Amino acid sequence: MSSPRAVALSGGVGGAKLALGLDRVLSPGELTVVANTGDDFEHLGLHISPDIDTLLYTLAARANLDTGWGRAGESWSFMSALAELGQPVWFRLGDKDLAAHVLRTHRLRQGSSLSQVTRELAGHYGLATAVLPMSDDVVRTRVRTDAGWLDFQNYFVEQQCSPAVHELCYVGADAANPAPGVTSALHARGLEVICICPSNPYLSIDPILAVAGIRCALEQAAAPIIAVSPIVGGRALKGPTARIMSELGHRNSVVSIALHYRDVIDGLVIDEVDRVYARSIEKLGIEVHVAQTIMKSLEDRCSLAAQVLEFAAQLRGPRKEQRSHVGVGTS
């Protein structure tokens, strides 16, 4: 792996959009993506890594752009046969998508690590960008809700995020090691930016930050750490970010995102519609860049990625020393 110019921390859909932009504006090999694995799970004996797959499919131009997950041109014969066998169908496994799950499960059972399998998959897709799981160890996001503690996928997919969230935990994160390559990427000479993609902070980014070794590497990283707000105009572009924010007692605003990440980031990219909050965020000691952050086209993705790199270049000079790094709360 060559030394990256940018490392992106990302969950699935929203984060993958910006990761794709970075992949396109950088030269081959200059981007490393660290993927959330807190929502990985075993289903019907298959090891499913939703965020890794969304990232791989997105970078490999195989993603379903309508659903935001799964593959383009997917078919669903497997699911219909599975229903016939009385099996649960709340988690939709596409026929093409299954190839990755079957191969991953097979390799893990043969003794490969999740990193190794991910590298193998990425290799078959011909990706130049490295996609690394945050950890090869098992970390599982659990959600305390009105309906009690739920495993992530039961909350997120089966129950469609309907029970109100009160607390989250990332089981195994304390003991998990960063996957091979993660720490060295974060400390790579010449690294220009560590970008926290506009993924759900609670469900997609916090599990990554909860891995002690990653947290520590971020604290010591020389490159500026920039988050792109997943909240625009008080709303999430996709998924339950705003809703969970409210349920956890926070205002739905980019300021809450700034507060959430204040101990980690040097800069925050906010949308033009949120320009009014720039001062409040800067008062927290976080630099702000205002941009068009809604990524509809590939051009939007590339433009935002380019601005993240540019913003980072500005921050590398007057790099703040006062980052307190005292830990990100999960509520």
What's the CA gap between 61 and 265, in Å, rounded? 30
- Between 72 and 222, name the residue whose CB sits nearer to its own copies: 72
Host H or E run for residue 314: helix 298-316
CA atoms within 13 A on the CB side of 64: 14
Report the alpha-carbon distance of residue 325 to residue 262 in Å, rounded.
8
Pick the binder of its own copies from 30, 39, 51, 97 (CB under 8 A): 97
CB of 118 to its own copies, least distance (A): 12
Nearer CB in complex with its own copies: 55/308? 55
Considering only residues 2, 3, 67, 75, which one is a binding residue for its own copies as defined by CB under 8 A? Answer: 75
Which one among 24, 91, 98, 292 touches its own copies, defined by CB under 8 A?
98
CA distances from 34 to 16, 45, 144, 159, 251 (A): 11, 25, 26, 27, 28
Distance CA(33)–CA(70), nearest Å, equals 19
Using rule CB under 8 A, residue 85 touches its own copies: yes
96 lies in the binding site for its own copies (CB under 8 A): yes
Give, to the nearest 10 degrees, the angle between helix 50-59 and helix 114-124.
Answer: 20
Number of amino acids touching its own copies (CB under 8 A): 31
- Told to check if 95 binds its own copies by CB under 8 A, we report yes
Binding its own copies (rule: CB under 8 A), the pick from 22, 100, 231, 302 is 100
Question: Which of these ranges, 86-94, 212-220, 229-237, 263-271, lies near its own copies under the rule CB under 8 A?
Answer: 86-94
Residue 276 binds its own copies, judged by CB under 8 A: no
Contact with its own copies (CB under 8 A) among 24, 29, 68, 74: 74
Q: Which stretch binds its own copies (CB under 8 A): 73-81, 156-164, 239-247, 294-302?
A: 73-81
Nearest CA to 127 out of 10, 19, 38, 36 is that of 19
Tell me if 298 contacts its own copies by CB under 8 A.
no
Positions of E strands within 24-164: 31-35, 41-43, 46-48, 130-133, 140-145, 148-151
Type of residue at 4: P
Which residue in 128, 107, 124 sits closest to 28, CA to CA?
128
Q: Which is nearer to its own copies, 61 or 222 (CB)?
A: 61
**DSSP letter at 168?**
E
Residue 91 Cβ vs its own copies, minimum distance, rounded to whole Å: 13
Q: Give the rounded distance of the alpha carbon of 127 from its chain centre.
A: 18
94 interacts with its own copies by CB under 8 A? yes
Closest CA to 35 of 16, 13, 9: 9
Stretch that binds its own copies, among 84-92, 160-168, 169-177, 241-249 (CB under 8 A): 84-92
Q: Given candidates 1, 2, 61, 106, which one binds its own copies under the rule CB under 8 A?
A: 106
Decide if residue 71 touches its own copies (CB under 8 A): yes
User: Counting beta carbons within 10 angstroms of the beta carbon of residue 126, is it exposed (0 to 12), middle (13 to 18) or buried (19 or more)?
Assistant: exposed
Q: By C-beta, is 81 or 147 nearer to its own copies?
A: 81
Distance separating alpha carbons of residues 24 and 20, to the nearest angstrom: 6
Instruction: Write out the binding residues for its own copies, residues 307-326 only, by CB under 8 A.
Output: none
Q: Is 119 in the site for its own copies (CB under 8 A)?
A: no
Q: Which of 86, 111, 249, 318 is close enough to bind its own copies by CB under 8 A?
A: 86
Q: Report the distance separating Cα 52 and Cα 151, nearest Å.
A: 18
| Least CB distance to its own copies at residue 71 (A) | 8
Residues in contact with its own copies by CB under 8 A are 44-46, 71, 74-75, 77-78, 80-82, 84-87, 94-100, 102-103, 105-106, 109-110, 121, 124-125
